[in-house]
Copies of this chain bind each other. A is one copy, B any other.
Amino acid sequence: MPLSKLIAIVAGVGPGTGASVARKFSSHYPVVLLARKPENYEGLAKEINSAGGKAIGISTDVSSKDSLAKAVEGIKQEFGQDVAAAAAIFNASGPFMRKPFLEIPAETFSSSLDVSAMGGILFSQSFLPLLLKGVGSSEHPPSLIFTGATASVKSNAQMASFSTGKWALRALSQSLAREFGPQGVHVAHAIIDGVIDIPRTREWLKDMPAEAKLSADAIANDYWWLHTQPKTNFTWEIDLRPAIEKW
């Protein structure tokens, strides 16, 4: 199988980590950008295509099995029935509220679990077949990478609508690492412990030095590093935080 058939899929693109990761991987693979709203991937796809890479965006709801099935169909139409994946990156998170537990609607919890937990499960069930197909033909072991957070390992007061999904996602990644590592797919989980420097957080930590925030581009480099690890040396989990972060 020619290497050109190998693609990278990024779920949860937007103006932050997802975009940086997609840009980074686009210099090596055609990338598929998944987001619910087209405005979250259109500009990025254009940018990557203009820069000489190849990117397509597909409007996808990762909490819906049908929506993901359509995404896989779209990918096969674009890249051929025998398309394989070198990387699949799950960077989506459900909505949540930082509030007293009894004031949070049950719907917020279930929406959060739908994306963070079920979304991760459905994404994995959709793209692991493509990653398995990539084993052997990919220069680097095909990689399935999940974006976690501080709340993936610590469940603070008033954060349960975020942490429940994030702990579930971490459990998923650990189980998949154990099942699919021996089959040649590298499954990894990154604990992003701090504020990422993206447009949405521009006003945060304004009295701190610039380096108080994580760089989204540096996260992308770290994901690329995970991707290039050989079969003898897989990392399941890394944590990432600014040097000056309190933890």
Q: Contact residues of A with B, CB < 8 Å? A: 65, 100-102, 106, 109-110, 113, 117-118, 121-122, 124-125, 128-129, 141, 151, 154-160, 163-172, 174-176, 178-182, 184, 186, 197, 211, 213-215, 218-219, 221-222, 225, 229-247
Contacts and interface: CB of A to CB of B under 8 A. Distances in A.
Nearest to A237: B239
* Number of copies of this kind of chain in the complex: 4
B176 A117 contact: no
A92 B46 CA distance: 49
A160 B123 CA distance: 14
Nearest to A234: B243
Contacts of A215: 230, 232-233
The 3 closest A-B pairs by CB, nearest first: A167-B171, A157-B179, A160-B175
A240 to B, nearest CB: 5
A164 B225 contact: no
26 contacts: A101-B124, A101-B128, A106-B125, A117-B164, A151-B171, A158-B175, A160-B171, A163-B171, A163-B174, A182-B243, A182-B244, A186-B243, A215-B230, A215-B232, A215-B233, A222-B235, A232-B243, A233-B240, A233-B241, A234-B241, A234-B242, A235-B239, A236-B241, A237-B237, A237-B238, A237-B239
A218 B232 contact: yes
Q: Which residue, of A124, A165, A170, A232, has the highest number of chain B Cβ atoms within 10 A?
A: A232
Q: Which residue, of A169, A171, A225, A229, has the highest number of chain B Cβ atoms within 10 A?
A: A171
A43 to B, nearest CB: 24
Given A101-B176, A179-B158, A239 B242 contact: no
B197 A214 contact: no
Nearest to A213: B232
B141 A129 contact: no
